[in-house]
Amino acid sequence: MSKSDKRQRQRENRAERRAREEREARRRRLIRLATRGAVILAVVIGAGVVLSFLGGDDEPVETTVAPTTSVAPTTTLAGTTTVPATTTPVDPEALSDEYLQYRELPVACGAEAPPPVEPMQFDAPEDQNLAADQTVTATLSTSCGDIVIELDSGLAPETVNSFVFLARQDFFDGVVSHRLLPGFVVQFGDPAARGDGGPGYNVPDEFPEGEFAYDRGVVAMANVAGTPNSTGSQFFLPFAPTGLDPAFNPVGRIVEGIEVLDQIEQIPVDSQRPLEALYIEDIVIDAS
């Protein structure tokens, strides 16, 4: 199969997948509306029963996510933290305040916003049966265009396995970039858009050996600076040579669409916060 045929097949697959996702999203919304009505009715009835026994007023319970303070730009890529794992998806309604704020922004590159991210957590990634010599690509469909990454299972097998697993679970769909530093990197992969979100598990360190450089074209995972084995779901794409030490698990290298980085780098920022929402619409894995 030629490269153009493969790209056409990927585009057709993405179109079919988005159509399925839109149908499923509409179905989930109807279910949530019906469930919400039943819950409200049950709460009203239950509240009357509880108050009849207890009397007086109950204090409200704070359920919103506390805002975080902004972090000044540095050359570290602190991002993912250990999150209590669960094998079931998180309530799609439980989106962070920070993510919802991005949903209010104009979308980068004149694109339209995809459906919101659906937060989910896992105990561990499932084995994706990737061979070290197997050609595996990941096509990132972003608000500014497609970026095709050739994944390197031989260099960081557990990291690539986790990345492929999360992509196939649609974990990244609707995720927004929470960190963009022109001349340095753009960072993705946190469903909470705060810098501390992850998939519920951590991947062991698989740092590259020798003279490895995190330069333009490389894709690597972020981690908590100075904390061993703290890689999760967040990853970064350098705009230029970064000078970073080999302390981040590599994912692979861009083979198509590197010019999309130039468009992304033009997105206005406030400190390191994008002022336009840059989304990952989806990530399509092709394991030939």
pLDDT reported for residue 17: 55
| pLDDT tens-digit readout, 216-241 | 999 999 999 889 999 999 999 999 99
Give the global pTM: 0.72
> How many other CB atoms sit within 10 Å of the CB of residue 205?
18
Residues in the chain: 288
pLDDT reported for residue 85: 39
How far is the CA of 239 from the CAs of 35, 89, 100, 242, 288, in angstroms? 46, 34, 27, 8, 29
pLDDT reported for residue 117: 96
> How many other CB atoms sit within 10 Å of the CB of residue 127?
8
CB 177 within 8 A of CB 273: no
- Could you tell me the two tokens for 9? 């097949």
Beta bridge partners of 218: 253
pLDDT reported for residue 288: 78
Low-confidence ranges of the chain (pLDDT < 50): 3, 6, 25, 28-76, 78-87
Which residue reads 């062991």 in tokens? 204
Beta bridge partners of 237: 186
User: Rounded to the nearest 5 degrees, what angle is found at the Cα of 99, between the Cα atoms of 97 and 224?
Assistant: 100
- Could you tell me the two tokens for 219? 């894709």
CB 285 within 8 A of CB 138: yes
List the one residue out of 162, 160, 159 whose CA is nearest residue 150.
Answer: 160
- Please report the sign of the dihedral spanned by the C-alpha atoms of residue 149, residue 103, residue 182, residue 71: negative
Q: Distance (Å, rounded) from C-alpha 251 to C-alpha 83?
A: 22
Beta bridge partners of 186: 180, 237
Over its C-alpha atoms, the chain yields an Rg (Å, rounded) of 21
